[in-house]
Amino acid sequence: MSASAYEVDQAVPVGVINEYSPELPLVNVSLSLRVGSELDPPGKEGLSEVLMRLLRRNAGGRDADENDRLVDRLGASLGADVAASTMGFHGTVISRSYAEFVQLLRDTLGEPSFQADEFERLKREIHSELVESLDNDRSLARRWFRKKMFAGHPYGRPVSGTPQSLDSLELADAQALYERALIQENLICAFAGEVTPEQARASAEALRAMLRRGQQPTTSTQAPVAPSGRQLVIVDKPDRTQTQILVGCLGTHPRDEDHTALHVANTIFGGTFTARLTQEVRAKRGWSYGAYSSLPFDRCRHAFSMWTFPKASDAAQCLKLELDLLEQWVKAGVTKKELAWAKRYLVRSHAFALDTAAKRVSLKLDAELYQLPAGYYQEYEARVQAVTLEQANEAIQNRISAENLLVTIVGTASEIRGPVEGAIDRLGASETVPFDDLS
Taking a C-beta distance cutoff of 8 angstroms, is the pair 133, 140 a contact?
Answer: yes
Torsion angle, CA of 248/249/252/258, rounded to 10 degrees?
Answer: -100
CA separation for the pair 333, 305 (Å, rounded): 17
Residue-level length of the chain:
439
Element (DSSP H or E) covering residue 364: helix 357-369
Residue 103 buriedness (CB in 10 A; 0-12 / 13-18 / 19+) = middle
**Whole-angstrom distance, CA of residue 28 vs CA of residue 21:** 11
Residues 6 or more apart in contact with residue 228 via CB below 8 angstroms: 404, 428
> Pick from 126, 105, 117: which is nearest to 27 by CA?
105
Number of H helices, E strands in the chain: 16, 11
Closest CA to 113 of 62, 66, 68, 171: 62
Amino acid at 270: G
Determine the 3-state secondary structure of 17 from DSSP: strand
Check residue 3 and give its pLDDT.
Answer: 31
- The distance of Cα 274 from the centroid of its chain, to the nearest Å, equals 24
Interior angle at CA 356, CA 355 and CA 360, nearest 5: 90
Least Cα distance to 334 among 324, 325, 345, 323 occurs for 325
Residue whose C-alpha is closest to residue 411's, from 333, 337, 345, 314: 314
pLDDT at 7: 36
Q: What gap in Å lies between CA 172 and CA 116, rounded to an integer?
A: 10
**Residues near 218 by Cβ (< 8 Å), separated by ≥ 6?**
none
Residue 347's SS3 state is: helix
Degrees, nearest 5: CA angle 174-178-179? 120
Outline where 218-356 has alpha helix (H): 259-270, 276-278, 315-332, 336-349
Q: What CA dihedral angle connects 138, 140, 142 and 147, to 10 degrees?
A: -170
DSSP 46: T
- pLDDT value, residue 11: 42
C-alpha–C-alpha distance, residues 51 and 79, integer Å: 13
Which pLDDT score, from 0 to 100, does residue 1 have?
32
What was the pLDDT predicted at 219? 65
List domains and CATH numbers for the chain. 3-208 (3.30.830.10), 230-434 (3.30.830.10)
Whole-angstrom Cα distance, residue 101 to residue 91? 9
Planar angle of CA 110, 114, 118, nearest 5 degrees: 130
Mean pLDDT, 10 residues at a time, the chain of 439 residues: 34 75 96 96 97 97 96 97 96 98 97 94 97 97 97 94 98 97 96 96 96 80 85 97 97 94 98 96 96 94 96 98 98 98 97 95 94 92 98 97 97 98 97 96
* pLDDT recorded at residue 14: 56
With beta carbons less than 8 A apart as the criterion, state whether 141 and 410 touch: yes
Q: What is the pLDDT of residue 10?
A: 37
pLDDT at position 194 is: 97
Give residue 223's pLDDT.
Answer: 81
